[in-house]
Amino acid sequence: MLFNSWQYAVFLPLVAAAYFLVPHRVRWVLLLGASYYFYMSWNPNLVFLILFTTASSYTAALGVERSRSEKARRAWLAGGVCLSLACLFFFKYFNFFSESVTALLRAVSLPVSDFTLNIILPVGISFYTFQTLSYAIDVYRGQMKAERHFGIYALYVSFFPQLVAGPIERAVTLLPQFREEHRPDAAAFSYGCHQIAWGLFKKVVVADTAAVYVDKVYGDLSMCAPMGYVIATLLFAFQVYCDFSGYSDIALGSARILGFRLMRNFRCPYFARSIKDFWRRWHISLSTWFQDYVYIPLGGSRCGRARHLRNLFLTFLVSGLWHGAKWTFVAWGALFGVLSMADVLVIPRLDRFERSRGKIGRRAVQLLRWAVCFGLVCVCWVFFRAETMSDALYIVSRLPCALWMPVQNLVAALGTIGLTGGALWGMLAALAALTVYDAVETFYGDPIALLQRQAAPVRWGVRYAVCLAVLLVALTRPEGTTAEFIYFQF
């Protein structure tokens, strides 16, 4: 069941109404049933996998807490972690590992046959696996008590707003909320509806529209000149941002209607002026997960410069592999690792240089840093989007050629991919609205909270404009062009 579907538009109000009508003591049962129904709507058989992961991590955490010796505690933790990672490896990485080993053996002239399995990647497996891992590790570290109620814990793993694509919630913040008695709250309902509407705007109006032109270029690299690759790459940067942050907005809004608060997953990432700053703003729940459970255990920054750089690179390399079982994702993570290492070496000097300038000089340096950061992030997105490494390298090699192209080439490239006339102005208007929203959030605070304090004509004008844009695009788009959320494949 997709968030941007009519089924979900019926599902959420029914669940919310039933949630506030039933007694508090059985609400967890309702939410658990709704969450499993939501997940089984993709493939009913996948429920057994999420049940196995839930049961194994639940048992491991109890074993850790009840063990008296450190050796036994570690054994319980290792068992739970290995079972969860084994499921993730089998379903997500087995074929990738098999194909890579086969290619390596053939490269050294060893005759081997292909060995792959017809495996369906369970939707959301990377997200709920990481959620169970953080729970077991936190119990081992003594940061929380193990949850005794299996039903409540199963709800923590499968809570439908954030089940499929996050945010990756920590048990210490989400588990207690399932025991709180939530009452109908008009302010929370209004805020949640606004957040869902904005998430749908990002997904339907920006991401799905941009996907049409991005897929056209990345699906056939022979169709356009270098300027076309630049346009498609810029559009993909906004597509992936609006697709994923749109999902997160709908997830947070859905949870808010029910009385739950999920962690924020995006904070205007394209306003960042360094790679480190970008990852503080992008997919925050995953960034903090890798920081707490990979980067810091490796030694973090509290070690020598060489080890610090190594820890950064390894963390981003694993992050790239988490995103997908393809060498393009590994290269994407490695590239961000290299850029993060460069950040450590360069940013302190840039900061000192910026502080030494006057007001105008500082603004100029900040603008230049933003442009460089955004450009580097866009280059990284090429590897994220390209189907193969050869495609990614070809596109990256062609991007600099666009710098020397006349303006006529821009017009020609737009025409080649079909982004002209009303489609062009519509896309520019949507991107302008997105930029204004992020700018307001950066300089003035939460745009939804600010909107709710405005005069009625302003509030309703914005509401109608957003909803009308979503409906118009959704109803006029050709059948079959609506895309699933990108992060569902992870």
DSSP 488: G
Encode the chain (490 residues) as per-residue pLDDT tens digits.
788 888 899 999 999 999 999 999 999 999 999 999 999 888 888 888 999 999 999 999 999 999 989 999 999 999 999 999 998 888 888 877 887 788 777 777 777 777 777 778 788 888 999 999 999 999 999 999 999 999 999 999 999 999 988 799 999 999 999 999 999 999 899 899 999 999 999 999 999 889 988 988 888 888 788 888 888 999 999 999 999 999 999 999 999 999 999 999 999 999 999 999 999 999 999 999 999 999 999 988 888 888 999 999 999 999 998 888 889 999 999 999 999 999 998 988 888 888 888 888 888 888 999 999 999 999 999 999 998 999 999 999 888 877 777 766 788 888 888 888 888 888 899 999 999 999 999 898 889 888 888 888 888 888 888 888 888 888 777 665 656 777 777 6
Q: What is the number of other CB atoms lying within 10 angstroms of the CB of residue 2?
A: 18
Q: What is the number of other CB atoms lying within 10 angstroms of the CB of residue 352?
A: 9
- The pTM assigned to this predicted structure is 0.91
Distance CA 262, CA 248 (A): 9
Specify whether the CB–CB gap between 235 and 214 falls below 8 A: yes
* Radius of gyration, CA atoms only, the chain: 24
pLDDT at position 407, please? Answer: 67
pLDDT at position 481, please? Answer: 60
Core vs surface per residue 409-448: b (16+ CB within 10 A) or e: beeebbebbebeeeeeebbeebbebbeebbeebeeeeebb
Q: Alpha helix locations (H) across 356-388?
A: 359-385
Provide the residue ranges of all domains of the chain, joining segments of one domain with +: 6-184, 188-489
CA 81 to chain centre: 23
Distance CA 337, CA 324 (A): 16
pLDDT at position 326, please? Answer: 87
By annotation, the residues acting in catalysis are 323
pLDDT at position 27, please? Answer: 93
Distance CA 476, CA 467 (A): 14
Distance CA 251, CA 66 (A): 35
The identity of residue 457, as a single letter, is: P
Q: Which among 328, 323, 326, 299 is positioned nearest to 313, based on CA atoms?
A: 299
Specify whether the CB–CB gap between 229 and 276 falls below 8 A: no
Q: Alpha helix locations (H) across 324-358?
A: 327-355
pLDDT at position 337, please? Answer: 94
Place of tokens 């080993």: 101
pLDDT at position 313, please? Answer: 94
Q: What is the number of other CB atoms lying within 10 angstroms of the CB of residue 177?
A: 17
**Cβ partners under 8 Å of residue 8, min gap 6:** 1, 2
**Cβ partners under 8 Å of residue 227, min gap 6:** 402, 405, 409, 410, 412, 413
Distance CA 485, CA 203 (A): 8
Q: Which among 256, 212, 253 is positioned nearest to 236, based on CA atoms?
A: 212
Q: Which among 128, 420, 431 is positioned nearest to 270, based on CA atoms?
A: 431
The identity of residue 247, as a single letter, is: Y
Q: What angle do CA 173, 489, 16 make, to 5 degrees?
A: 45
C-alpha dihedral (142, 144, 147, 152), degrees to nearest 10: -150
